Amino acid sequence: MKEAYLYKKLDNNSVQCNLCSFRCKLSDGQNGICGVRKNEKGTLYSLVYPKTIAKAVDPIEKKPLFHFLPGTKAFSIATVGCNFKCLYCQNWEISQYPLEYDKIAGEYYPPEKVVEDALAAGCKSIAYTYTEPTIFFEYAIDTAKIAKGNGIRNVFVTNGYMTMEAIDMMAGLIDAANVDLKSFSNAFYSKICGGVRLKHVLESIEYMKEKGIWVELTTLIIPGLNDNYDEAKKIAEFIYQTDPSIPWHISRFYPTYKLTNIPPTPVQTVEDIRQIGLSAGLKYVYTGNVLGNEGENTYCPKCGELLISRFGFEIKLNSIKNSKCPKCGEKIDMVWS
């Protein structure tokens, strides 16, 4: 176990965790809502440091990040645990593991070894992903520090429920984040994700942008739950007001975990919501989980020229020159190195 970052000691050996926006107050012997942070006699510990439950070499586009180091590989790691309880979690076997089995799983995999393996695999970044990286924050931050010293960038794939204090620690270490903006409804976040409040996610997105972290957003469209076009318009308006150059990924839902009774999202719905985003003035809006769809591609927001052609996570064509559209000279918002 490792002593946790970002917590406050209280009376009677109690503590308050200030890592995510639940800000759990824990009595001696109590675990946080994530299941992987425990108060032991007035000291808060991470139970998953450094215990990896999953690792892989992925294309950065799989995160999905389309505008951050395009065409490169990311070394991806995760521990068990999550502070959300999404009914449609595609990685529920590991995200909900501590709560389902009341124990911690994972292999010993120290930060130094993570970076060593990332370098050996030719990866340009390390992605803290699959489960929620906020709950293995100490492991991610310590790894990110070593990675930075070796010229490797760092990426969070996150639900965005961390505190401002956590983002302050991320700044300068975590270079990019894909945030799941799951809905624009408090009722959805509360009922479907486990008592979550929308405003904390929105605040995190805005603050990450303010701190210089490259941000892309993903919304998984679930029939009957968040596929309302008025809600999609509200999301698009929020993104536009924050920064119209934030890429927005609109993904198709497939039945999983506790929502196996809901059918896959119609492709037309995904395409319609993409058009809502573009009509709202967003520069880059993508379709996800719809293989071969034109919405996988990057187009110039000024002249409409095809700039990057993708098939799934593979780049088939990249015509961007010196960060500009070769046809009209428009600057394309991307991080290349």
User: What's the rounded Cα separation, in Å, for the pair 188 and 228?
Assistant: 12
Q: Looking at the structure, do residues 33 and 137 belong to the same domain, yes or no?
A: no
Share above pLDDT 90 across residues of the chain, in percent, rounded to a whole number: 99
Q: Quote the radius of gyration of the chain (alpha carbons, Å).
A: 20
Q: Looking at the structure, do residues 250 and 176 belong to the same domain, yes or no?
A: yes
Give the list of residues 6+ apart from residue 71 with CB closer than 8 angstroms, or none.
59, 60, 315, 318
243 assigned to some structural domain: yes
Alpha helix segments (H runs only) across the chain:
92-95, 97-101, 111-120, 137-149, 164-170, 186-193, 198-210, 229-242, 267-279
331 assigned to some structural domain: no
Do residues 295 and 310 touch, judged by C-beta distance below 8 A? no
Q: Looking at the structure, do residues 35 and 138 belong to the same domain, yes or no?
A: no
Domain that holds residue 16: 2-46
pLDDT, tens digit (0-9, with 9 covering 90-100), for 70-93: 999 999 999 999 999 999 999 999
pLDDT exceeds cutoff 90 at 1 = no
Q: Looking at the structure, do residues 42 and 82 belong to the same domain, yes or no?
A: no
- Domain count for the chain: 2
pLDDT of amino acid 193: 97
Check residue 46 and report its DSSP letter.
Answer: E
Do residues 124 and 74 touch, judged by C-beta distance below 8 A? yes
Q: Looking at the structure, do residues 42 and 118 belong to the same domain, yes or no?
A: no
pLDDT exceeds cutoff 90 at 337 = no
Q: Looking at the structure, do residues 173 and 263 belong to the same domain, yes or no?
A: yes
- CATH code where residue 64 lies: 3.20.20.70
pLDDT of amino acid 218: 98
User: What's the rounded Cα separation, in Å, for the pair 55 and 128?
Assistant: 10
pLDDT of amino acid 194: 95
pLDDT exceeds cutoff 90 at 216 = yes
Q: Looking at the structure, do residues 42 and 93 belong to the same domain, yes or no?
A: no
Q: What is the C-alpha end-to-end distance of the chain, expressed in Å? A: 35
pLDDT, tens digit (0-9, with 9 covering 90-100), for 28-56: 999 999 999 999 999 999 999 999 999 99
230 assigned to some structural domain: yes
Three-class DSSP category at 275: helix
User: What's the rounded Cα separation, in Å, for the pair 190 and 185?
Assistant: 9
Quick one: angle between helices 198-210 and 229-242, nearest 10? 30
pLDDT, tens digit (0-9, with 9 covering 90-100), for 168-202: 999 999 999 999 999 999 999 999 999 999 999 99
Give the list of residues 6+ apart from residue 110 with CB closer than 8 angstroms, or none.
50
What φ, ψ does residue 158 adopt, rounded to 5°? -140, 155
In angstroms, the Cα distances linking 140 to 52, 122, 131 are: 11, 19, 12
User: What's the rounded Cα separation, in Å, for the pair 172 and 144?
Assistant: 10
Q: Looking at the structure, do residues 31 and 104 belong to the same domain, yes or no?
A: no
Q: Looking at the structure, do residues 70 and 208 belong to the same domain, yes or no?
A: yes
Three-state secondary structure string covering 141-168: HHHHHHHHHCCCEEEEEECCCECHHHHH
pLDDT, tens digit (0-9, with 9 covering 90-100), for 235-254: 999 999 999 999 999 999 99
Bridge partner residues of 219 (DSSP):
250
Check residue 182 and report its DSSP letter.
Answer: -
Q: Looking at the structure, do residues 41 and 75 belong to the same domain, yes or no?
A: no
